[in-house]
Amino acid sequence: GQNIDQPTEMTATEGAIVQINCTYQTSGFNGLFWYQQHAGEAPTFLSYNVLDGLEEKGRFSSFLSRSKGYSYLLLKELQMKDSASYLCAVLDSNYQLIWGAGTKLIIKP
């Protein structure tokens, strides 16, 4: 079967750095997405990785290792507005998105 695993909840302090991990087992791989979803709102796109390595975009970076079936989202200089759920999703061999359950990130002052 296809499976995406990410922690259910994480807590971090304002101004700090947090890393949210995602491991996957899917039938084929055509890329990995990270989305941010604030409570009661729709997900918004953060990043897309298809090759191994680190993609940096401002305070957010995303890393991929295809051989390990592993990705992480790194958030730097955390702000209160970063409190949200972070969804990991993999494009399988049929170009269908397989979604993780999301990681709820709580930022404390």
Beta carbons of 106 and 10 less than 8 angstroms apart: yes
Which lies closer to other proteins via its Cβ, residue 42 or residue 80?
42
Enter the tokens of residue 51. Answer: 């090759």
Cβ neighbour number for residue 47 with a 10 Å cutoff: 19
> Binding-site residue total for other proteins (CB under 8 A)?
23
Residue 95 binds other proteins (CB under 8 A): yes
Taking CB under 8 A as the criterion, which residues in 29-48 touch other proteins? 30-31, 33, 40-45, 48
CA–CA dist 41, 31 (Å, integer) = 24
Residues in touch with other proteins (CB under 8 A): 4, 8, 30-31, 33, 40-45, 48, 50, 87, 89, 91, 95-97, 99-102
